[in-house]
Structure 1
Amino acid sequence: MNGTNEKATRSPGARPGLTLAAVAVVQFMVSLDLSVVNVGLPEIGSGLGFSTVDLTWVIHAYALTFGGLLLLGGKAADRYGRKRVLLFGLGLFGLASLVGGFAQAPGQLVGARAAQGIGAAALAPAALALLTATFPTGKARVKAFGVWSAMNAAGGALGVLAGGLLTEYASWRWVMFVNVPMATLALAMAWRGTVDSKPAARGGRPDVLGAVLATGGLVLLVFGVVRTDQHGWTSAVTVTTLAVSVVLLAAFVRVERTTAREPLVRLGLFANRSVAGANSYNLLVGAAMASAFYFMSLYLQRVLGEGAAATGLMFLPFALGVVVGSVLAVKLGYKVAPRTLMACGGLLTALGFAWFGLISPDGSFLTDVFGPSVAASVGFGLCLGPVVSTATVGVEPQETGTASGLLNSSRQIGASLGLAALGTAAEHRTGHALTPQALNDGYALGLNLCAALLVVAVVTALAVLRRPGEPGQAPASVPEPAASETAAD
């Protein structure tokens, strides 16, 4: 399409340069916030008085609200206006970051992280939808999505490093404060540079009740698992908490089937083997990756005694390895089926995590971290593109946005559920003796369990996804993201 037609299809009054800049800042910020707190966790724990297990709620609070409300955020953007929802999300995200930075108690920080997740669930799909509308076709679209992808990778790669530097040379509070100027800048650019286009036809109102039931059920499920360090699995507290969680999740399924409003996700979508397989795989990968980051960050600081800044630098090989794996996946994607790449990448990541599981109290970066980081990260990079490609195969055009949003939700939810289960298992192995040896044993168990989750993910992919050449098999090439896809990858 020529430049004249390309301009004609844009929203009147839009300023493409400012829109792209705003979306780039949003993507960088959301991606950064997925990892920036990891290195600061020990300082956060000692500064606010978190227990070892309760410290995981700094991650859970963000992941659960982000993943649980992401589909609602995408539908709200379509119905109420993408610019309006983006500005709301940015305002909430920035305010929550400011409040979190001033937190004086664990509950205040956890509440701020939950509010950040709500803001991210609103702003992420709205920003990408605006980018799609502003650059509908042509070379400008390719360039715009290239910038989007670069900011996604840069935020994830720099998050751990930035968290380490801020924690050591400023304060852990700056892993929260750092979002405020970015959110303010993005809000100003979005206010001036973006224009809402009215949807052609409004559907039913978004299913808010379903979103509340799903998020509430997941929160109680995680809470029940995490608190088994104080209340055993057969205690009345644990059984009641898990039972209420099951009731809420069952109610969510019923509401999605019977609601007069627009459901968050059509349950029949899971009958598609590509959708079911990709999301099951993604859930397990998300669980393993979030847990491994958590365990390795604590191992480097609490067992090896590294500072926060040094720990951040030690994660750089992992970040670079993901980039290498992603590039390799693109090159191989024209010849190798996504199912095969997912299996190979998953096995390589599992090998890296099992290698991580050999950590020792007197280890070092070169002997215990560098090699496993390279193996696990390249394998993870191999998985990223193919799982996105697979998740929308055979999906009706009007549901591709929902399928993309669902994929990102599954990773966030998997991250929280996995960290709850594996973090609790590691805590039980460590016990009350917080010696380097005891901590090492707990983290090693957790990392070996991460490897096991990746093996299960590979088995799931091979069992559920179609073989190359079968009807419904994903194409070799990796498509650009759909409008509701977010940075959760």
Structure 2
Amino acid sequence: MTDNNGPAEGAARIPRHVLLPLALAQFICSFAGSNMNVMINDISEDLDTTVQGVQTAITVFLLVMAALMIPCGKLTERYGRKRCFRAGLAVYGVGALLSAFAPGLGVLILGNSLLEGIGTALLIPPVYILTTLLFTEVTSRAKAFGAVMAMGGIGAAAGPLIGGLITTAISWRAAFVFQALIVTVILVMSRRVPDPLPPDPAASFDVRGAVLTAVGLIVLVMGILAVDDNGWLAAGLLAAGALVLLWFFRSARAMEAAGREPLLSTSLFHDRTSNLGLITQHVQWLVLMGVSFVTAAYLQVVRGYNAIETGLIFTAATVGLLASSLAAERFAKRRAQRTLIMAGFVLTVGGIVVLIAMAGGTASAWASAPGLFLIGVGLGVMLTPSVNIVQSSFADDDQGEISGLSRSVSNLGSSLGTAIAGTILVADPAHAYRAAMLTLAVLGLAGLVAAVLLPRGPAPNMATARPAGAS
């Protein structure tokens, strides 16, 4: 459905319930990225694989999302945001059902890592583009992004608990059936979601750029995963991935110089505020998924906890994130976005320090709860401001590109968090827990530095500075 009056006028008539399917979509995708963490032992035994095999499946899922997010964000211009959103839901649902009946690790990777990853890459950029276009007033957009990011954070934090409950009560396979059911509900609800801008079938698509970005990101993360097995191979892959990404940027510049449109405009990186916001997003999801995987693996493999026990311990993070997300609007009225992001990183790094201090010091795994609670509060405080800073730095015409870039950067963070911390942990689960957590704390401090460098004033609301379609 197209509103010919444009997003600014149509936003006033948009009912609130159109936000629900968008927020639910972010929830289920974030849930998928973390709920497998509590199924490590169950999947390993059922599919006759190892902890490293399950880690590979989780990492590949996150990596496919990161690699395809930019191209899929660009496809929304050609085929329409709502159409891409619904197509992504359909692909995701098929992948979830295939995963539920997987006879081995290979089919699980096909269903969960590839199909669910592709589906997520198709549906997530439209979530952020539609939120930006449908909610054009500053306050309503902040509330809309708050709802979407809160559902995403809760999905990631509550994934272990919900996954643990389902796995213990029924089976790990039922968790994928649960995902398919939620996706079906979203598909039905999404019929009433409007698309403010018509698709442009003539919109260009940089195939070479899409291939180069996907290959570069995949090879880069493969290099991190190979560190534990072969240092020389890992170094070669990391160098190759960096060179491919450099090739992409040089290709994009050459296309722009020739008057053609690349997959990703290099002008997106000319905004210092947006660049710093992207760094904070990347680090937030890196820390969240890294902590989730490392803590879940440690509790199950070293401490011997089952899926439900592990999930219950993660309730502390869920409660913290939910509490801070519900207060996000109040925080936004009283504090600048920069201040909130800085406070979020301080709380998150503090939570990691608590986890490190409590490791091995007590027989009760519930000693992890205070640290996880602090991490949840910290993430809930800063997720929404980081996204709003980036999205609001660009006009409507650029929302497809910046949404794809923003989600790609965030999902690359998720993938790197699982890959980096997981690689350290699986080498020696009994003794490497502190090292993995310390690595995440240092990376969290890097995010804090980026937050400190953000401008002190409020981010400009550039997304409504000029009408859609303006040059």
| Same topology, TM > 0.5 | yes
1:170-198 Cα distance to aligned partner (Å, 9 max, x none) = 111222222222223333444x5456566
TM-superposed CA distance for 1:217, in Å, is 1.5
Task: Choose the corresponding residue for 1:465, options 446, 454, 457.
Answer: 454
How far residue 18 of structure 1 moved from its aligned partner, in angstroms, is 8.0
How far apart are the structure 2 equivalents of 1:389 and 1:226?
A: 32
CA distance in 1: counterparts of 2:383 and 2:430, whole angstroms: 30
What amino acid does structure 2 have at the position aligned with 1:345?
G
Tell me if structure 1 keeps the 8 A contact 2:278–2:409.
yes
Distance of 1:142 and 1:351 partners within structure 2: 27
**Structure 1 counterpart of 2:82, which letter?**
K
TM-score of the pair, normalised by structure 2 = 0.84
Contact residue 73 and residue 403 of structure 2 kept, 8 A: no
The aligned counterpart of 2:70 is 71
Q: 1:452 is matched with which residue?
A: 442
Tell whether 2:257 aligns with 1:265: no
TM-score, normalisation: structure 1: 0.81
Match of 1:474 among 444, 459, 466: 459
Q: Distance in 1 between matches of 2:102 and 2:164?
A: 19
CA RMSD, aligned part only?
Answer: 3.4
1:328, distance to aligned residue in structure 2 (A) = 4.5
Alignment of 1:331-350 (within 5 A): 331-350=330-349
Provide closer, same or farther for how the CA distance between residues 161 and 118 of structure 1 changes in structure 2, counting only shifts above 3 A: same
For 1:445 and 1:318, locate their aligned partners in 2 and report how far apart those are by CA, in whole Å: 21
Deviations along 1:246-288, one digit per CA (max 9) or x if unpaired, are 3322222123223476433322322221111111222222222
Match of 2:117 in 1: 117
Moved more, 287-296 or 373-382: 373-382
Distance across 1 between alignment mates of 2:6 and 2:213: 40
In 2: Cα distance, 1:335 partner to 1:21 partner = 26
* Distance (whole Å) between structure 2 residues aligned to residue 6 and residue 256 of structure 1: 30
Gap change, CA 1:253 and 1:356, over 3 Å in 2: same
Q: Deviations over 1:387-446 (max 9, x none)?
A: 123324653453345334423221210121232222222334x1xxxxxxxx23212211
Q: How far, CA to CA, are the matches of 1:264 and 1:246 in structure 2?
A: 18
Please give the alpha-carbon distance, in whole angstroms, between the structure 1 residues aligned to 2:249 and 2:229: 31
**1:141 & 1:228 partners in 2: Cα distance?**
42
- 1:199 offset after TM fit, Å? 2.3
Summarize the Cα distance change of 1:142–1:354 in structure 2 as closer, same or farther, 3 Å threshold.
closer
Structure in which a larger fraction of residues adopt helix: 2
User: After the TM superposition, which of the residue ranges 398-407 and 93-102 deviates more from structure 2?
Assistant: 398-407
Quick check: 1:10–1:135 contact (8 Å CA) kept in 2? Answer: no
Which amino acid in 1 is paired with 2:365?
A: F
Secondary structure of 2:50's aligned partner: coil
The separation in 2 between residues aligned to 1:162 and 1:188, in whole angstroms, is 23
| Counterpart residue number, 2:245 | 249
Which segment is superposed worse, 390-399 or 80-89? Answer: 390-399
Q: Counterpart of 2:172 in 1: which secondary structure?
A: coil
Aligned to 2:363, the other structure's residue is in SS state coil
Is the Cα contact below 8 Å between 2:328 and 2:381 reproduced in 1? Answer: yes
For 1:150 and 1:352, the matched residues in 2 are separated by 19
Q: Distance in 2 between matches of 1:134 and 1:63?
A: 28
Tell me the residue number matched to 2:214: 215
CA drift of 1:372 comes to 0.8
Secondary structure, aligned partner of 2:444: helix
User: For residues 141 and 249 of structure 1, do their structure 2 counterparts lie closer, same or farther at Cα, with a shift above 3 Å needed?
Assistant: closer
Structure 1, unaligned stretches of length 5 or more?
431-438, 481-489
Matched, 1:357 2:356: yes
Distance apart, 1:108 and its partner CA = 2.1
Residues 213-235 of structure 1: CA deviation (Å, up to 9, x unaligned): 2122221122122123222x23x
Aligned residue runs from structure 1 range 333-412, under 5 A: 333-358=332-357, 359-360=359-360, 363-366=363-366, 368-392=367-391, 394-412=393-411
Query: In the alignment, which residue of structure 2 is the partner of 1:161?
Result: 161
Cα distance 1:239–1:140, how it changes in 2: closer, same or farther (>3 A)?
closer
Q: How does 1:31-430 map to 2 (within 5 A)?
A: 31-112=30-111, 113-127=113-127, 129=129, 148=148, 151-152=151-152, 154-190=154-190, 192-194=191-193, 199=198, 204-231=203-230, 233-234=231-232, 237-259=233-255, 262-358=261-357, 359-360=359-360, 363-366=363-366, 368-392=367-391, 394-428=393-427, 430=428
Aligned partners of 2:229, 2:434: CA distance in 1, in Å? 22
The CA distance in 2 between the partners of 1:376 and 1:447, in whole Å, is 12
- Name the SS for the 1:49 alignment partner: coil
CA shift at 1:294, angstroms?
Answer: 0.5
Structure 1 residues 202 and 465: alpha-carbon distance in aligned structure 2, compared to 1, 3 A threshold: farther
Gaps of 5+ in 2: 465-471
Residue 202 of structure 1: CA displacement?
A: 5.9
Deviation larger for 327-336 or 279-288: 327-336
**C-alpha spacing 1:131/1:230, structure 2 compared with 1 (3 Å):** closer
Give the 3 Å change call, closer, same or farther, for CA 373–405 of structure 1 in structure 2.
Answer: same
Alpha carbons 2:219, 2:237 under 8 Å: kept: yes
Percent sequence identity is 31
- 1:440 matched to which residue of 2? 430
Tell me the distance in 1 between the aligned counterparts of 2:381 and 2:147. 20
